[in-house]
Structure 1
């Protein structure tokens, strides 16, 4: 019997990398090899529609990709109220985007085009949305995503925890009489960083000499200290941005407001809050460029977005920030020099909110229920076209092999 010819795996990977994200969710069930490929971060990063930044204005949502040319695309996302009111914050957590509005918030996966509204309840206009984490309940073997917010209408810190499963809110208050006024923790940046379900923040205290990292544990619903930052001085005028690095540790960007010098630190080992290991930092990059602007403008006080590209032995820092006129720019820095700077002229409104975004195939919690009936009636013409293309290429490949 003649042996059936199969497509080279490189060709299969190339075909899958050109499919829209939504079909990839379903195609993961074809076989174990396809599931392993689609779940691989390297595959997602190399996908033709992968992007690195999300920008939100009062009327539009944009994605920015670097392939290596910078491309700006307008995204079609159903964010209620976006054209009627200006969003007040934007946070990326676990591949989701949390967009705070005057009336509640919107959680979306921009890669899959999914959105879900969160109603803030009483005094929702005073909510400050901090990020998304999850309670990894090992007993019930179920991940429950939760939103963390703070209620700024109180004199003390009041945490607001939203459960995606029940759609209910829970309050938790930190009282000065139990902690002591000198022991209170203040959040330096309201943009949380999610890692392994916990939400991490740069914080400071009245009696502590340096900035430090705290994290909110959603299972215990409590704050914990992690470590001090490697910065020697505590200056609130400096730019400080915490990000996830290599998926399991942190990077820290600091720009001195006087010298404009940028320093990047990274954590040497992966973060494991259960082992209580001491967090060790190492300097990754130092950039001192005279014509590099302030990454935080006094008009907005909105921190820059960045990611580190250290593939193939090179070290590059890619930053998104706004200039003094509110126009968005992308700066690429490496080897202590400014490699390129690009103004995003297609972003129509000034002072856009922005954040880094690493695409994910994780569906927004709750959207599965809302899209269940729609998925039963999905148009399979695109998938049939893919099957036809697959079989056609397989046939051509067998002919080439025969000759």
Structure 2
């Protein structure tokens, strides 16, 4: 029996401000078996993969914003006989380039790998050392650097989860979830993100904890965005393995479970995309 090939799905929210938003799935079939990572544009139905021979572990995707054309690149970590560290993979010439890193353990953070986002070509993710902050990677200069602190202090002995997302195209939103207190907060940046300006955070809302999922039980990457004051979040259900869409607005927390299972071999996916096996 032939193996079922995985499919990539993007989810479109129709009428997000209504009492009954409708979900629309778009499918991009792709033979991913020979590849370890891929770039996908579901709207253009285009997929490019990285061959296994490169031994490249995917971290995030961005582009050089100093060039007139957008040539997408992947930041990741390379494992070889003579080198182990960060590397950039450029899709057009299919070239792999090793680069210097701020420390040898930068890629080991599970939070960083699951919550990085791309804004204006640069990558951003949450780290702690010892306080929480956002680190960035600039594909134009190929440099890592601390970007800004988070709006909340680190609390010792509490298991806190942070999800970073793009807000209104040119800002950040930050979802904070504490397992011990079950408190859920959403913060947003006051102004658009600029390399030279100080980042100012505003608490947008505190979410109801009733029926809100525990992020500590999630194996796959969580994807979310804010529309007005409504939270749309996509994550896997740890009991069934199927992805679910959560719609949170005011005191409402609605769960819409999808009718397929997430592909078990893939952990790092571009946000807002879901993978399933078969048709």
- Considering the TM-score relative to the shorter chain, is it more than 0.5? yes
Higher helix share: 1
- Give 2:256's aligned residue: 342
- Give 2:121's aligned residue: 197
Query: Given that residues 202 and 214 in structure 1 are in contact (C-alpha distance below 8 angstroms), is that contact kept between their aligned partners in structure 2?
Result: yes
Shift of 1:349: 4.9
- Give 1:244's aligned residue: 166
Q: In structure 2, what is the Cα distance between the partners aligned to 1:61 and 1:214? A: 29
1:129-162 deviations in whole A, cap 9, x for unaligned? 1121111335xx44432111123679x9711111
Query: Given that residues 38 and 48 in structure 2 are in contact (C-alpha distance below 8 angstroms), is that contact kept between their aligned partners in structure 1?
Result: yes
Shift of 1:324: 2.9
Query: Given that residues 203 and 212 in structure 1 are in contact (C-alpha distance below 8 angstroms), is that contact kept between their aligned partners in structure 2?
Result: yes
- Give 2:201's aligned residue: 281
- Give 1:132's aligned residue: 61
- Alpha carbons of structure 1 residues 226 and 348: separation in structure 2 relative to 1, 3 Å: closer
Higher Cα Rg: structure 1 or 2? 1
- Alpha carbons of structure 1 residues 288 and 334: separation in structure 2 relative to 1, 3 Å: same
The answer as to 2:211 corresponding to 1:271 is no
Pick aligned residue for 1:63 from 5, 10, 15: 10
Q: Unpaired segments of 5 or more residues in structure 2?
A: 16-20, 274-279
- Give 1:319's aligned residue: 233
- Give 1:256's aligned residue: 178
Q: In structure 2, what is the Cα distance between the partners aligned to 1:230 and 1:153? A: 39
Number of aligned residue pairs: 259
1:308-345 deviations in whole A, cap 9, x for unaligned? 010xxxx111111223312322111111x12422111x
Shift of 1:356: 4.1
Query: Given that residues 203 and 213 in structure 1 are in contact (C-alpha distance below 8 angstroms), is that contact kept between their aligned partners in structure 2?
Result: yes
Q: In structure 1, what is the Cα distance between the partners aligned to 2:40 and 2:46? A: 5
Pick aligned residue for 2:87 from 152, 155, 160: 160
SS at match of 1:190: helix
Q: In structure 2, what is the Cα distance between the partners aligned to 1:291 and 1:175? A: 40
Shift of 1:185: 8.9
Q: What are the residue-to-residue correspondences of 1:86-165 with 2, within 5 Å?
A: 103-119=35-51, 121-122=53-54, 124=55, 127-138=56-67, 141-151=68-78, 158-165=85-92
- Give 2:246's aligned residue: 331
RMSD (CA atoms)? 3.1
Shift of 1:120: 5.2
Shift of 1:243: 0.6
Shift of 1:350: 7.2
Query: Given that residues 212 and 226 in structure 1 are in contact (C-alpha distance below 8 angstroms), is that contact kept between their aligned partners in structure 2?
Result: yes
Q: In structure 2, what is the Cα distance between the partners aligned to 1:167 and 1:106? A: 12
- Give 2:25's aligned residue: 73
Q: In structure 2, what is the Cα distance between the partners aligned to 1:251 and 1:104? A: 29
Q: In structure 1, what is the Cα distance between the partners aligned to 2:221 and 2:69? A: 34
Q: In structure 2, what is the Cα distance between the partners aligned to 1:118 and 1:185? A: 19
Query: Given that residues 5 and 31 in structure 2 are in contact (C-alpha distance below 8 angstroms), is that contact kept between their aligned partners in structure 1?
Result: no
- Give 1:5's aligned residue: none
Pick aligned residue for 2:226 from 291, 308, 330: 308
- Alpha carbons of structure 1 residues 350 and 164: separation in structure 2 relative to 1, 3 Å: closer
